[in-house]
Amino acid sequence: MMISASAVLAVPVGLAAVGAVLGRDLLRRRVRRPRRILLAVAACVAVLLPANVYLACTHHTGWFSAEPLVSLATVLALSGLGFLVSLDRIDRTRVPRPRRVLAVGAHPDDVELGCGATLAKLVDSGHEVRALVLSNTRRGGDGGARPEEVSDAGRLLRLAGVEVLSFPDTRLGAHESDLVRAIERVLDRFNPDIVLTHSGHDQHQDHRAVHLATLRAGRRHSSILCYESPSATPEFRPSMFVDVEDHLQVKVAAVAAHRDQRGKPYMAAEQVQGLAMFRGAQAKIRHAEGYEPVRFLGGPVDRW
């Protein structure tokens, strides 16, 4: 019995559909514009899968058969998808000298909002990146779910580890000495080359408390950079920028992993993208994350 071309071609089209559904997170992490790829796969599958299945199941005896045309369209569409993915693939060139990077945040989602794209870029460049979250935000949302969401976001960014502590939300400033000791413990254990933390130019009292505690705990560390929060004041004036063009959609996905906070305006993809565009305009590129350096010891800044 002869197997028709349509029966053979239905298999990779079906696999593309299954791959797009199961591998959505991987796609978000590996390509710049995952939505464009997913839409292209959906369009191909919606048209070509039923066409190939129909032709494979019917027997044509007339002078005209649509099978060669559908087969050609299928091969071209699958090749086009492969080309689109390769065109959009995020650069993952490793640096010769990897560093250790620690991002410190007061609450779940702070690190993703402030420096998520930079962290993903650093991971892709071969650096070891970890995050420390001081509060699991029992008052600001579902205290049981948010640490889990931090882990989901950490997995998307491909962080080497995320530690969530349970200092009381909104009252971090009342535990200054304990905060300093907790951060010191992580700094001693991990010994990061670069520490990222909140800026002092922030309206949120917890963010300011973590900024001060990180500066005290990291007093012997050579590189400390302050990232931006949605509650940053107009005094937040970054003088160091990281090009996050390739990793902006990874950041959007990591922010969206905080399902408990969905609905807050600053969690919306448009706002995350808009801020990156604004900081990008300041840095004369398309998309950037901005930092206020406390001090920075490094080589070519963007590659760190």
- Which residues of this protein are in contact with Zn ion, per CB under 5 A? 106-107, 110
Place of tokens 């991987």: 26
Tell me which DSSP letter residue 153 carries: H
Where are the strands (E) in the chain, listed by range? Answer: 100-105, 128-133, 161-164, 194-198, 224-227, 240-243, 288-295
Least Å distance, CB 269 to Zn ion, is 19
Least Å distance, CB 107 to Zn ion, is 4
Distance, CA of 240 to CA of 79 (rounded, Å): 41
DSSP of 67-121: HHHHHHHHHHHHHHHHHHHHHHBPP-PPPSS--EEEEEESSTTHHHHHHHHHHHH
Least Å distance, CB 205 to Zn ion, is 10
Decide: 22 and 79 in contact? Cβ < 8 Å. Answer: no
* Residue with smallest beta-carbon separation from Zn ion: 107
Question: Cβ closer to Zn ion: 110 or 246?
Answer: 110
Question: Cβ closer to Zn ion: 28 or 251?
Answer: 251
Tell me which DSSP letter residue 31 carries: B
Least Å distance, CB 203 to Zn ion, is 11
Question: Cβ closer to Zn ion: 291 or 304?
Answer: 291
Question: Cβ closer to Zn ion: 29 or 107?
Answer: 107
Least Å distance, CB 140 to Zn ion, is 8
Question: Cβ closer to Zn ion: 70 or 132?
Answer: 132
Alpha carbon 80 to its chain centroid, in Å, reads: 26
